[in-house]
Chain A
């Protein structure tokens, strides 16, 4: 199938008092229609900024964004209005992303109102339909967010994102604030909706077991750059980048018989402000040497499996 979204060398820098913060620095990827791209990384790696830049909630510093084959990097106001209907977002925190003074049905109707072209009776009907789609009982239509638990609030967030029938949804940590039993309900709902509506997701999260479960392809980000990109199963079966390896090994597995040793990482994430040209993971990498001071490029080591590490072959041949 054709690519719905393509991002080429996307950059987003923020000006700070002490220099340029490279939040997203030359990211390339594409997502096929109906597929899910998982974006993982730790706080501050630029994964949320990436999602927001694609949606034009932030202006990009450089690079290009193509949606359905069309360049939408610098849309006119009218184009942007159209684009907003096609591309939506589900926010992380269902506690702060809803207006506390809007009832459930008002909150769901709001995007319809902004888009215009519907009578209030039509909007009401549409809101009821959406509540049904996301599994919210109609008795909650006049309830306010504070009366609902996190799982139900996140369902409102999903209903709002679906209201305009988008093709593409950025899901920014949609289940991190939820308890596991509720998290499973919401993840299942998102998968059902994807099947029914042929939705394309970009799923941003720090939870690797969730990302494996929901994604077709995965990007691993570190300090604004993509360090590894591969189909989901391939990434977990054949992890290549030293950072991805450490990240995967650090997930506590709920299984007492398969405890794999954690690969310890030295220190903490280095500053994203005016980073040095070489590999950004260098300061924490056990394999780093002189060669890593050069700029790293994403290379395709196996079909569909990209990695940005010049030591990859050496590391992985000794490991096996």
Chain B
């Protein structure tokens, strides 16, 4: 095994069961992280991004959701095989998560400082006074005066609440940080502040970050590599340059084409036609084939394999040559 890999997800399959159908949320995902790397996970609503993050932390809604198969190796150990007690030692400590909505991620009736101190005292042998002191340091690290330790979440603005959530996630210096759309609920100027903060903190702590987002602009400003996910499958994976300069999967290309660009004069966008397939009833072949302008019979009948186009650049498509030639 490659020792550089902090986390390796192998062939992960997750399903949600509802009354009369099975939602195929994640369908055979492989993804790995090297230490210190920021990986962007990009896709649309319902593509399975959050489900992957929740599977890593084992906080999927139970009993509806089930990891059907796969392995999640963290420092060589399969997280899916750990007991709940062992998992609790990792959760919030070595692996932490920033949730999407800072308005609901904080406990409204607990002081923000205490919420940070709680994470510290759970995972470290510290006195309450030491935990408080470290929590104050964390607040200051994210740019909130320590004097606001005893305030409640409602006294903070959205951007500040998100900083508190980040401080909480970083309190135990996690090796892996799962950031689930950490800036989607924020205004652009505040988003820029939070992204800068995350970049600086990541450097300081040398953590690995999984950046879940639907915003390719955020990816360009913070990630080292990118995984594009569609209907629970990673359809393209590569370095930032691979994805932004040599996007190869028709879906990735379509995503870029549908963005309004600041520097273009076009009067019409080029949207991807149609909608995401119903996850309870995925097509037999390539899950993108119904919306793809290149699709042929083979795409409808067989699932494409992942091909390595150039070192480190993977694409899941049969017609890669045709797509590249136009």
Contact = CB atoms under 8 A, between A and B. Distances in A.
Interface in B154-210: 157-160, 187-193, 195-196
Interface string B58-90: 000000000000000000000000000000000
Contacts of B244: 254-256
A256 B245 contact: yes
Contacts of A246: 189
B44 A179 contact: yes
Contacts of B218: 252
B145 to A, nearest CB: 12
B125 interface: no
B255 interface: yes
Contact of B269 (A150, A187, A236, A249): A187
Contacts of B258: 180-181, 183-184
Contacts of A150: 45
Given A181-B258, A268-B160, 7 more contacts: A149-B275, A180-B44, A180-B258, A254-B259, A259-B221, A262-B192, A268-B190
Interface in A250-282: 250-256, 259, 262, 264-265, 268-269
A42 to B, nearest CB: 4
Contacts of A210: 260
A253 B217 contact: yes
Contacts of A255: 220, 244
B313 to A, nearest CB: 15
B270 A184 contact: yes
Contacts of B217: 251-254
A264 B189 CA distance: 8
Interface residues of A, number: 39
A249 B215 CA distance: 16
Interface string A143-177: 00000011100000000000000000000000000
B31 interface: no
A230 to B, nearest CB: 15
A268 B221 CA distance: 22
B262 interface: yes
A128 to B, nearest CB: 22
A43 interface: yes
Interface residues of B, number: 43
Closest CB pairs A-B (n = 10): A252-B217, A184-B271, A254-B216, A184-B258, A213-B260, A42-B187, A250-B192, A184-B269, A179-B44, A181-B272
Interface string B102-123: 0000000000000000000000
A213 B159 contact: no
A138 interface: no
B196 A262 contact: yes
Contact of A259 (B45, B220, B261, B269): B220
A180 B221 contact: no
A212 B189 contact: no
Interface string B34-50: 00000000001100000
Contacts, number: 113
Contacts of A149: 275
Interface of B: 44-45, 157-160, 187-193, 195-196, 214-221, 240-241, 244-245, 254-256, 258-262, 267-273, 275
Find the residue from A180, A187, A206, A259 having the highest chain B CB count within 10 A: A180
Contacts of A247: 188-189
Contacts of A214: 260
Find the residue from A181, A256, A259, A265 having the highest chain B CB count within 10 A: A181
B13 to A, nearest CB: 24
Contacts of B188: 42, 206, 208, 247, 250-251
Given A251-B217, A254-B219, A268-B157, A185 B262 contact: no
Contacts of A253: 217, 220-221, 262
Nearest to B264: A213
A185 B216 CA distance: 18
Contact of B220 (A183, A254, A264): A254
Nearest to B275: A149
Given A236-B262, A256-B220, A268-B160, A250 B189 contact: yes
Contact of B195 (A42, A187, A252, A265): A252
B261 A209 contact: yes
Contacts of A236: 262
A269 to B, nearest CB: 8
A252 B221 contact: yes
Contacts of B159: 268
Contact of A251 (B160, B254, B262): B262
Contacts of A182: 44, 271, 275
Contacts of B256: 254
